[in-house]
Structures are given as structure tokens and as C-alpha cells.
Amino acid sequence: MIDFSGVARVATSARAGLAAMAMLASSTAFAAEGGVFGHAAPGQMKLIEGETPIAREIDFFHNDILLPIIIVISLFVLALLVYVMIRFNEKANPVPSKTTHHALLEVAWTIVPVLILVVIAVPSFRLLTHQLVLPKGDLTVKVTGKQWYWSYDYPKDQGGGFSFDSLMKDEKDLKPGDLRLLAVDNEAVVPVNKVVRVQVTAADVIHSFVIQSFGIRIDAVPGRLNETWFKAEKEGVYYGQCSKICGKDHAFMPIVFRVVSEQKYAEWLASAKKKYASAADRAIALADASR
Ligand SMILES: [Cu+2]
């Protein structure tokens, strides 16, 4: 999905001119590298669209199984209520029946909901199994929730051996193409079409690591390592957010994963190793100096 917020701004702002054109140009350049996924669109009614097999299964379960059943049940209950109001009001039915039990009716309204739940349980358990039985991973990334940002660890045996913090960009630091409240200073990067295992924990309070386009929602709990996975099939930028009320800046700890080709990932690994290793060295040097 391409971000059209830049286009909307052109239409509404009289002094948009050059700045907006620059924004459009850069967002098309951005789109050429892959899509932008996981942010709400203007007027959006449905879930954010899924971009992995699991996320699509969630979409199917919600849109094609749960929603039709919910609509039918709601209409049925509404019809019963309307019927009761018309047929059994005081005027239409002055002498009420004294019936208190009806065996067949009671059996029916117990059995029918059970059958509905059994029908829902089959795809529900299948989906849960696909989510919770982790396939063999090509790559593991460890994510730690902190008040109020995320830290990412790339293990050494996979060419990593560094970690970095990822903080939301201030409004004044936004570059063209950056989404307000979603863009971060350091994005996590993963290769396309690889099974990425994500280990999630927290350092202070409970957070929740959610990237809806990946179909991931998992709690980040201090002292506990939760694990989930995704396999991104398209290159691009995927946005997520902390989804547990975790403190005053809960709304300002977005998650950004950039999915790139394998070659670009290798390039990023090499540069990230230098960038974040030197940052870690500096921190150690500072700590030593302050002793
Ligand atoms: Cu949080």
C-alpha cells in the first residue's frame, strides 16, 4: 500500500507548492524500493491488510468466518427483539402466557451456540497452531521493549553481534516520506522471503510487540522470552506499534521493520556492525572514563 497522505496534503494546503512536490517525488522513489505497510489509511474500515501467510490467514478468519457469523447472529437477535416488541406488547397481547419452560427450545438454544463454536474452533485452532508452532528459522532477531522504545539484538552467529535502540523520530526530524508518529531513527532490517524468528522480552514493564501486516502480536514481558515468527514476501517498510498501555509514552514507541533483498541485507549487516559496534565502544569508553 502506498502512503497517500502526501497527496491529501497537496489538495488541502494552499502553500504546499514545492515542498509537497518534493514529498511526492520522494514517496514515489520510496515506493520503488518496496511498499509501505501497516499504517492506517484515511477512511479505513477493515483490518490493516496482511502481507504474510499468517496475516492472510488471520484476515480470512476475521473477514470470511467470524464476520459473517456475527452479522447473522446480530440480525437474528434484532429480528427476535422486533418481533417480541410488536407481537407481545401490552396492546397486542393483553393476556400473557404463563409458560415458564419449554424443553425443546432450551435444548435448541444450548446446542446451536455449541455447534457454532465448534465450527469456529476448527479454523481457529488451525491458525493458532500455525502461529505457535515455529518453523525452522533462517534468522533470529531479539526485541526488547523499554520505556518507551525498542531495542534490537542481532546474534553474532548470524553475522550480527550488535544491538541498537530504535526511537521514534521527533516531528522536527522527519524527512520527506517519513510517517509522523511511526518513523524511527534506527530501523530493524531483515531479508525478504526468509523465516525470521522474533524473540520478545521487556526490560521494565509489560509491552506488546505488534506488526499487523506480519500477523504478529506478542507480549513483551520482563524476565520472560516469548517467541514468534514471520516471513515477509514483499520488500518494503512495515510499521507496528506497542499495544500494551505501558506508561506515558506508550503511544510513541513505534516499530519499523525494513524488508530488503538478501544482498542489501548483507550490506546493511556490514554497515550496521560498524555503526553500532562503535556506538557500543563509545558507551564503554564513557563508562570507563566516568569511573
Ligand atoms: Cu510499550
d(CA 124, CA 67) in angstroms, rounded, equals 14
Q: Are residues 201 and 105 in the same domain?
A: no
| pLDDT tens across the length of the chain (291 residues) | 444 444 444 333 433 344 443 444 344 334 446 788 988 888 988 888 899 999 999 999 999 999 999 999 999 999 999 999 999 999 999 999 888 899 999 999 999 999 999 999 999 999 999 999 999 999 999 999 999 999 999 999 988 899 999 999 998 988 888 888 999 999 999 999 999 999 999 999 999 999 999 999 999 999 999 999 999 999 999 999 999 999 999 999 999 999 999 999 999 999 999 899 766 666 665 556 555
Domain boundary among 106, 132, 158: 132
What pLDDT score was predicted for residue 30? 42
Residues 109 and 11 placed together within one structural domain of the fold: no
Task: Domain count for the chain, please give it.
Answer: 3
Is residue 45 included in any domain, yes or no? no
Which pLDDT value is given to residue 282?
Answer: 61
For residue 129, the CA-to-ligand 1 centroid distance in Å is 26
How far away, in angstroms, is 278 Cα from ligand 1 center? 28
213 lies in some domain? yes
Please give the distance, rounded to the nearest whole angstrom, from the Cα atom of residue 191 to the centre of ligand 1: 26
Q: With respect to residue 90, please indicate whether it lies within any of the assigned structural domains.
A: yes
User: pTM (2 decimals)?
Assistant: 0.77
Residues 147 and 271 in one domain: yes
Structure confidence at residue 280 (pLDDT): 61
Beta strands in 92-170 (DSSP E): 139-146, 149-154, 162-166
Distance (angstroms) between ligand 1 centre and the Cα of 173 equals 22
Predicted local confidence at residue 39, as pLDDT: 86
Looking at the structure, tell me whether residues 95 and 125 fall in a common domain: yes
Note the pLDDT of residue 167.
Answer: 95
Domain edge (last residue) among 77, 105, 132: 132
48 within some domain:
no
Residues 63 and 23 in one domain: no
Domain stops at, among 90, 112, 132: 132
163 and 230 together in one domain = yes
Question: Does residue 14 lie within any of the structural domains?
Answer: yes
Q: Tell me: do 283 and 155 sit in the same domain.
A: yes
Question: Are 18 and 98 members of one domain?
Answer: no
Q: Are residues 19 and 95 in the same domain?
A: no
Whether 40 maps to a domain, the answer reads: no
The answer to whether residues 146 and 204 touch, using CB atoms and an 8 Å cutoff, is yes
Domain range for residue 104?
Answer: 53-132
Q: State the CATH number of the domain containing residue 204.
A: 2.60.40.420
- Calculate how far, in angstroms, residue 243's C-alpha sits from the geometric centre of ligand 1: 7
Task: Measure the CA–CA gap between 84 and 20, rounded to whole angstroms.
Answer: 58
Report yes or no on 38 lying in a domain.
no
Same-domain check for residues 221 and 147: yes
250 close to 210: Cβ distance less than 8 angstroms: no
Q: Both 171 and 272 in a single domain?
A: yes
Q: Let me know whether 285 and 144 are in one domain.
A: yes
**Res 285: pLDDT:** 58
Ligand 1 centroid from CA 203, angstroms: 11
41 domain-assigned: no
The CB density around residue 155, as the number of other CB atoms within 10 Å, is: 15
Residue 16 and residue 12: Cα distance in Å, rounded? 8
